Structure 1
């Protein structure tokens, strides 16, 4: 059941990436950190909240939001 939720989230992210190319970096990262237990590695990391805020800013048209997304995703690697 946990895998089903993760699969649905990844499928939704894939669809979003197809519709909006600027979202592809987020989708690629989510795929790269998908974990065998059905949850994302470091899904409780504080950068995730900032990633979601930056995604909302990008949707609102903020030109700096993609840089913020990239920066926060790099922090998740640390």
Structure 2
């Protein structure tokens, strides 16, 4: 199954949009994400580890590739979160 998202953002008289698509596989442990906005395309994934006391460690990675910047290798984002 997929979760789809569409956001309209109104800031200082400008209207911007963002779209996204997310799905979880492998017993809902591995999340795969695609998204975009006017300026860039995004792709990412995340994995969640569960411990015996129901605490979780989540590691997420995303890559963003801008449309308008030439000779760009994009931006890489990494997030680590621990829930206890």
Higher relative contact order (CA 8 A, sep 6+): 1
Q: TM-score, normalised by structure 2?
A: 0.24
Normalising by structure 1, we get a TM-score of 0.25
Larger Rg: 1 or 2?
2
Bigger proportion of residues as strand: 2
